[in-house]
Amino acid sequence: MKHLISLLDWSRDEVARALDLAARFKKDPLAKRDALDGKTLGMIFEKSSTRTRVSFEIATLRLGGHALFLSTRDIQLGRGETIGDTARVLGRFCDGIMARVFEHEKLDALTASGRPVINGLSDLLHPCQALADAMTIIEHKGTLDGRTLAYVGDGNNVAHSLINLAARTGLTVRVGTPEGYEPDAGIVEAARAEGAQVTLTHDPAEAVAGADVVYTDTWASMGQEDEAEARAKLFTPFRVDEALFSKAKPDAIFMHCLPAHRGEEVTDEVIDSPRSVVFDEAENRLHTEQAVLFMLMG
């Protein structure tokens, strides 16, 4: 059974195929309007979401299927029913499961459903975001090969999936974080072992120097709200403002998975500048997710 729990679950060819399909769906959203005819995607959310929820729901509709929004505030999972039992039950009803969870291991537990499982964000990874990011870089920079993405901020789920993207494409990833907030060492090592070009630094200017893409994300992810104040002080030098952005190539683009905390990890000036592609990036969640659903459930 094929899943998308990590981008590393997919080969280079599968990632390339998803990106080709996504470009096709962007041009012709109803090209495969019957692919999920009569099929249902169960979507479990332990955390808030705008883009992931809306894009998966619409992507499923465009393939002729139906998506069910299952907030853990409403289903028995939130009252203590086990993830394994929930998985087995949903497997009897649904043809695929997408889940946004805190602990990454819950996604593995959901495979007990016997259905494809898609990671809609865990504390560890955000593979669907990385696919949309790849599509966006290709649209604006022509290719991923030989391009350098500088990620500055917290070494979090989004950073981890961008590192995985470097292991599945020709993208080089430079990560700049404060000390103690580096990406997971195991994820970095695994990517490098597969030939990925990944470098780490604690100097934001060094991370960004000459990059094609400057990327950032929130300093305190969902579940880390109580650390926000302490992190804000440490992370201030990593804010993407005009001064930091100007160290990248003159035609560099700015990316952010959103939601943005304007004035914290990025200034209005940068996120609203003509070189910001954040809304293309958000839109591409829809097209790449349509490709993912087609490949796993079509």
- Catalytic residue among 51, 53, 123, 129, which? 129
| H helical segments located in 119-210 | 127-141, 157-168, 185-193, 204-208
Q: How far apart (Å, rounded) are the C-alpha atoms in residues 215 and 130?
A: 12
Selection from ligand CP, ligand NVA, none that 72 binds (CB < 5 to 8 A by kind) is none
Helix (H) or strand (E) holding 253: strand 253-256
Among 40, 52, 60, 216, indicate the residue that binds ligand CP (CB under 6 A).
52
Quick check: is 224 catalytic? no
97 within 8 A of 90, measured Cβ to Cβ: yes
Task: Give least dist CB 56 to ligand NVA, A.
Answer: 13
Give the shortest CB-129-to-ligand CP separation in angstroms: 5
Asked if 203 and 50 touch (Cβ cutoff 8 Å), the reply is no
User: Phi/psi class of residue 227: alpha, beta or left (left: φ > 0; alpha: ψ in -120 to 50)?
Assistant: alpha
CB of 261 to ligand CP, least distance (A): 13
Query: Angle at CA 290, nearest 5°, toward 97 and 99?
Result: 25
Annotation marks residue 217 as catalytic: yes
CA–CA separation, 34 and 297 (whole Å): 12
Residues 73-112 that bind ligand CP (CB under 6 A): none
Q: Under the criterion CB under 6 A, does residue 288 sit at the interface with ligand CP?
A: no
Known active-site residue 94: no
Q: Are 158 and 217 in contact (CB under 8 A)?
A: yes
Q: Which is nearer to ligand NVA, 138 or 260 (CB)?
A: 260
Name the maximum alpha-carbon separation found in the chain.
Answer: 54
CA distance 91 to 117: 10
Positions 111 through 170 that interact with ligand CP (CB under 6 A): 121, 129
Residue 50 in the binding site for ligand CP (CB under 6 A): yes
Minimal distance in Å, beta carbon 174 to ligand CP?
21
Q: Provide the minimum distance between the beta carbon of 63 and ligand NVA in the complex, in angstroms, as a whole number.
A: 23
Q: Which residues bind ligand NVA (CB under 6 A)?
A: 121, 156-158, 217-218, 221-222, 257
The residue (of 91 and 216) whose beta carbon lies closer to ligand CP is: 216
Question: Cα separations (Å) of 248 from 178, 267, 272?
Answer: 19, 16, 17
**Chain position whose Cβ is nearest to ligand CP:** 52
What would the two tokens of residue 219 be?
């300093």
Question: Is 124 within 8 Å of 104 (Cβ atoms)?
Answer: yes
- Annotation says 129 is catalytic: yes
In angstroms, what is the minimal distance from the CB of 157 to ligand NVA? 5
Q: What phi and psi values does residue 244 have, to the nearest 5 degrees?
A: -75, -45
Residue 174 falls in the annotated catalytic set: no
Active site residue 3: no
Nearer to ligand NVA, 40 or 129 (CB): 129
Give the one entry of ligand NVA, ligand CP, none that residue 50 binds, where binding means its C-beta sits below a cut-off of 5 to 8 angstroms depending on kind.
ligand CP
Please compute Rg for the chain using Cα positions. Answer: 19
If one asks whether residue 44 binds ligand CP (CB under 6 A), the answer comes out as no
Annotate each residue in 243-282 with x if it binds ligand CP (CB under 6 A) or - if it does not, as one string.
Answer: --------------xx------------------------
* 138 CB-near residues (< 8 Å, 6+ apart): 19, 23, 144
The catalytic residue positions are 100, 126, 129, 217, 257, 285
Per CB under 6 A, residues contacting ligand CP are 49-52, 121, 129, 257-258
